[in-house]
């Protein structure tokens, strides 16, 4: 039932898109084999979602330019996505608890590998280390992908770095060229940060990878991404470190376009990673974005915190930290250890 309604909405949109001038209610009824009331209701729903549809008596309906609008719904996402397998299917929800949690449930119900869920609002967003991911409505992107890779469970943490690289490269591709003042980066292992006009780096994206095992083998993996896109205000506790793409760019950002770019990049880097199950072929690209590189870092290892200079990553994603006296390199795993810049967040 729901699918029928969605198809109709898509069909009305498509008809309006194909026509430069007006389409009468009668023409739409005939083309789609539905009643005038149904057309009227669908147009109302489309308007509510933000489509600028003009309705003129005796002429009909006309879709005005959607340029510059942040339309974010099933139709726009399907129209913008151009992936081979990621997001087939793609499920958009206006609101949910957590896209990661939803995908594990869908996986139990037989969902295909590559299924993506995207939402505009989470009421129980999960962050790393058991934290909450604050997920305000209608401004950001919260999404997850379901994977079932045939890899060893101990290599799975690398996927988090793979996703970080995809998001970083998507941001570089979409926004960097138009604004030389912007600097995107990856704060090891998987926070995406941005600095505008020489200002401090602020976190605009967090990634949460969760895995379930069955008899020591991977049953499924869900990678979730929270992207701060058009958010302009942040709660006190993260105000110093969090930012958003629109604040950095100085204008609102189209979320569907960003979503599509992330998954396009993910397909490419994921394929490269799976070929070797190592980050070696991606290491140089990752290090290009690694903002910690060459900077002093403090490794907040609960057993033994220490400081040093971040040099790069190993082929399995550990951070290489040269100790203060330069005598030795230490390798920091992604586990429970957190890394901070000595002078600030990065
Ligand atoms: C972090 O703490 O940095 C990771 C945050 C990950 C948040 C995303 S939002 C979409 C997905 N669903 C969740 O519940 N969490 C992840």
Q: For residue range 188-198, what is the model confidence (pLDDT) as tens digits?
A: 999 999 999 89
The residue to mutate among 186, 208, 238, having the most atoms of ligand 1 within 8 angstroms of its beta carbon, is 208
Percent share of the chain, pLDDT over 70: 96
Q: For residue range 90-128, what is the model confidence (pLDDT) as tens digits?
A: 999 999 999 999 999 999 999 999 999 999 999 999 999
pLDDT the model gives residue 343:
67
Write down the pTM of the prediction. Answer: 0.90
CATH number (1.10.238.10, 3.50.50.60, 1.10.10.10, 3.40.50.920) of 8-63 reads: 1.10.10.10
Q: Is the confidence at residue 238, as pLDDT, over 90?
A: yes
Dihedral of the alpha carbons of 3, 4, 6, 11, in degrees to the nearest 10: 140
With bands split at pLDDT 50, 70 and 90, how would you rate the model's confidence at 263? very high
DSSP letters of 68-105? Answer: T----SHHHHHHH---SSTTSSEEEES-BS-HHHHHHH
Rounded distance between C-alpha atoms, residue 308 and residue 311, angstroms: 9
CB burial readout 19-41, b (16+ within 10 A) else e: eeebbebeebbeebebeeebbee
Rounded distance between C-alpha atoms, residue 208 and residue 226, angstroms: 8
DSSP code of residue 175:
I
CATH 3.40.50.10310 fits 296-341, yes or no: no
The superfamily (CATH) of domain 74-289 is Bira Bifunctional Protein; Domain 2 (3.30.930.10)
pLDDT the model gives residue 3:
41
Rounded distance between C-alpha atoms, residue 313 and residue 293, angstroms: 9
With bands split at pLDDT 50, 70 and 90, how would you rate the model's confidence at 339? confident
The residue to mutate among 95, 96, 97, 100, having the most atoms of ligand 1 within 8 angstroms of its beta carbon, is 100
Taking the domains of the chain in order of start, what are their residue ranges?
8-63, 74-289, 296-341
Residue 160 Cα to ligand 1 middle (Å): 12
Q: Is 126 close to ligand 1, i.e. is its CB under 6 Å away? A: yes
Which secondary structure element, helix H or strand E, spans residue 193, and what is its range? strand 191-196
Rounded distance between C-alpha atoms, residue 98 and residue 117, angstroms: 10
Q: Is 133 close to ligand 1, i.e. is its CB under 6 Å away? A: yes
With bands split at pLDDT 50, 70 and 90, how would you rate the model's confidence at 2? very low
Helix (H, G, I), strand (E, B) or coil at 316: coil
Q: For residue range 12-65, what is the model confidence (pLDDT) as tens digits?
A: 988 998 888 899 988 999 988 899 899 999 999 899 888 999 999 989 999 998
Rounded distance between C-alpha atoms, residue 93 and residue 6, angstroms: 13
With bands split at pLDDT 50, 70 and 90, how would you rate the model's confidence at 6? low
Q: Which has more pLDDT, 104 or 5?
A: 104
The residue to mutate among 226, 259, 339, having the most atoms of ligand 1 within 8 angstroms of its beta carbon, is 226
Residue 142 Cα to ligand 1 middle (Å): 7
Closest CA to 184 of 296, 261, 280, 276: 261
pLDDT the model gives residue 143:
98
Residue 50 Cα to ligand 1 middle (Å): 27
């Amino acid at each position: 039932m729901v699918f029928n309604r969605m198809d109709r909405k898509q069909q009305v949109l498509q008809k309006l898109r194909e026509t430069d001038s007006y389409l009468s209610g009668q023409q739409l009824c005939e083309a789609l084999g539905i009643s005038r009331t149904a057309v009227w209701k669908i147009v109302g729903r489309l308007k509510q979602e933000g489509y600028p549809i003009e309705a003129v008596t005796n002429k009909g309906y006309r879709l005005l330019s959607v340029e510059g609008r942040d339309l974010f719904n099933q139709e726009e996402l399907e129209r913008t996505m151009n992936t081979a397998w990621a997001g087939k299917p793609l499920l958009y929800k206006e609101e949910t608890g957590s896209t990661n949690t939803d995908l594990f449930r869908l996986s139990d119900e037989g969902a295909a590998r590559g299924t993506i869920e995207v939402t505009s609002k989470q009421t129980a967003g999960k962050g790393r280390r058991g934290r909450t991911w604050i997920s305000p409505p209608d401004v950001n992107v919260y999404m997850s992908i379901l994977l079932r890779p045939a890899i060893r469970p101990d290599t799975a943490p690398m996927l988090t770095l793979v996703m970080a690289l995809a998001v970083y490269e998507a941001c570089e591709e979409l926004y960097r060229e138009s604004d030389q003042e912007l600097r995107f980066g990856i704060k090891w292992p998987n926070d995406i940060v941005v600095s505008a006009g020489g200002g401090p780096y602020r976190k605009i994206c967090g990634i949460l990878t969760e895995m379930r095992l069955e008899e020591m083998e991977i049953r499924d993996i869900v990678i979730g991404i929270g992207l701060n896109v058009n958010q302009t205000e942040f709660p006190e506790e993260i105000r110093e470190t969090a930012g958003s793409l629109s604040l950095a760019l100085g204008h609102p950002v189209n979320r569907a376009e960003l979503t599509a770019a992330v998954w396009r990049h993910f397909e490419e880097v994921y394929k490269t990673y799976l070929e070797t199950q190592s980050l070696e072929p991606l290491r140089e690209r990752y290090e290009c974005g690694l903002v910690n590189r060459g900077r002093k870092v403090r490794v907040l290892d609960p057993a033994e915190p220490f400081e040093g200079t971040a040099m790069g990553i190993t082929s399995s994603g550990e951070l290489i930290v040269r100790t203060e006296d330069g005598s030795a390199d230490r390798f920091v795993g992604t586990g429970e250890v957190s890394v901070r810049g000595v002078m600030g967040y990065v």
